[in-house]
Amino acid sequence: MEFISSLFLLSAIHGIFLTLILITSIRKKSHENIFLALLLIIVSGYLFKEYLILEGQFSAIPHSMAAFVPLFYLLGPLYYFYVQFTIKEKTKVNGWDVIHLVPAIICFLVILPFYILSAEVKLSLYSAPNPDYCKIPPDRIIYYGLIILSGFFYCKRSLFFIERKKKSYSGRNHKKQLASLRWLVYYTRVFQGFLTFAVIAILIMVFTNSFKYYMMLSAVLASSILIHFISYWAIKESKIIKGADFNMKASSMGRDQSHELKAKILEILEKEKIYLNGDLSAREFCNRLSINSRYFSELINQEFGYSFTYLINSYRIREAKKMITDPQYAHLSFMGIAMEVGFNTKNTFTRAFKRHTGMTPTQYKSKQ
């Protein structure tokens, strides 16, 4: 056991050291490092706790008992956000992202009465691991099962976005980006392998009477191995991703790709009617198409013949014209229609309407 406990300690130190490197990174806007650092600190803290248990030193940190239980529900979401920010699928966290924290919050609230117990009470409830008796309570089986299902779900979603990003690149012009994406795939597969091993370990502990304690140690050991793999991958990533830009540039685009991007823009506008969002900006299109803002501006001017604002307003005015002549919208004022189609002020709506139709909304309505 001394070797295993030493390995846990080494892995915990390794993970904490890597966390410090990530959070002190001088790379600008490296949000992905934050998510990877959070993931590492959870696993590292858990390994350190297991080290103290094996060394019989748990009495030194009684309040760590069950401390990591709700945090394990964050492993899947943290990795998912890490992938999305790495490939620039997301550039900022929004309000809806809080939904990914719900399982962890619910778990925390369920365990909250235990957390507020005194250290003495917690120590009285604690029993040292016994190799001859290692049984998982039914409620703990459900807990582990939900965590593993969550992990598989987020891995699948991560692979979906990685594969979608791959399709936007041509092999000759984006070697660095494709190499990095391959490593993200490897990374995700390793995470899936870790989850699969956890499933096997739990099944053995539930349905057999042999090696239960050692399977539990093996599951923790797998976490230790995961830490070392992350470190190895981080070193490789620094060589692969350094200088790799996940945003396409005009110089790397051919005519066919420009037409393809134009088709995607039209699809987003026609099918999703994204122009109805009053807060819509060119940045959202850049993120979804994986191109930089300068090229996007050039693309709009080249393929459509006018600016992004004019393009969006043309769709909004087209929608407004339908609403002005549709009896079911007769109860709406011009300000109401303006808000419905994505304009934030009546004056902006009126100016855009006159620019696109040659008349004001009032004149257009009376003419109809």
| Segment 51-71, tens digit of pLDDT | 887 777 777 788 888 888 899
3-state secondary structure labels for all residues of 30-88: CHHHHHHHHHHHHHHHHHHHHHHHHCCCHHHCHHHCCCCCCHHHHHHHHHHHHHHHHCC
Q: Which has the minimum average pLDDT: 24-38, 179-193, 311-325?
A: 24-38
User: Using an 8 Å Cβ cutoff, are 207 and 188 in contact?
Assistant: no
81-85: long-range contacts at Cβ-Cβ below 8 A with a sequence spacing of 24 or more?
Answer: 81/32, 81/35, 82/32, 82/35, 82/36, 82/39, 83/158, 83/161, 83/162, 83/184, 83/188, 84/158, 84/161, 85/31, 85/32, 85/35
CA distance linking residue 333 with residue 291, whole number of Å: 39
The rounded percent of the chain whose pLDDT value lies above 70 is: 77
Per-residue confidence band for 101, with pLDDT thresholds at 50, 70 and 90: very high
Between helices 75-86 and 31-54, what is the axis angle to 10°? Answer: 150
CA distance linking residue 234 with residue 251, whole number of Å: 29
- Predicted confidence at residue 323, as pLDDT, reads 92
* Helical segments of the chain, H only: 2-23, 31-54, 75-86, 102-115, 119-125, 138-167, 175-207, 212-240, 255-272, 282-289, 293-304, 308-325, 334-341, 346-357, 361-367
Question: CA torsion angle for 109, 110, 111, 117 (degrees, to 10)?
Answer: 80
pLDDT in tens, 103-138: 999 999 988 988 888 888 887 876 655 555 556 666
Per-residue confidence band for 334, with pLDDT thresholds at 50, 70 and 90: very high
CA distance linking residue 183 with residue 94, whole number of Å: 27
- Find all residues with CB under 8 Å of 163, minimum gap 6, and list them: none
- Predicted confidence at residue 131, as pLDDT, reads 53
- Provide the sign of the torsion angle of the four alpha carbons 287, 291, 292, 294, taken in this order: negative
CA distance linking residue 245 with residue 269, whole number of Å: 26
CATH 1.10.10.60 in the chain is located at 250-367
Task: Among 1.20.1070, 2.60.120, 1.10.287, 2.30.30, name the CATH number for the domain at 2-240.
Answer: 1.20.1070
CATH 1.20.1070 in the chain is located at 2-240
Per-residue confidence band for 169, with pLDDT thresholds at 50, 70 and 90: low
Residue 262 has pLDDT above 60, yes or no: yes
- Predicted confidence at residue 102, as pLDDT, reads 93
More confident call, 163 vs 239: 163
3-class DSSP state for residue 130?
A: strand
- Predicted confidence at residue 62, as pLDDT, reads 81
Q: Span 324-334, mean pLDDT?
A: 89
Residue 318 has pLDDT above 90, yes or no: yes
One-letter amino acid identity for 287?
N
Which is nearest to 220 in space by CA: 62, 47, 54, 69?
47
Per-residue confidence band for 288, with pLDDT thresholds at 50, 70 and 90: confident
DSSP assignment letter at 133: B
Average pLDDT, the chain: 79
User: Using an 8 Å Cβ cutoff, are 311 and 355 in contact?
Assistant: no
Q: What is the CATH number of domain 250-367?
A: 1.10.10.60
Which is nearest to 287 in space by CA: 91, 84, 135?
91
- Predicted confidence at residue 134, as pLDDT, reads 56
Indicate whether this model's pTM tops 0.75. Answer: no
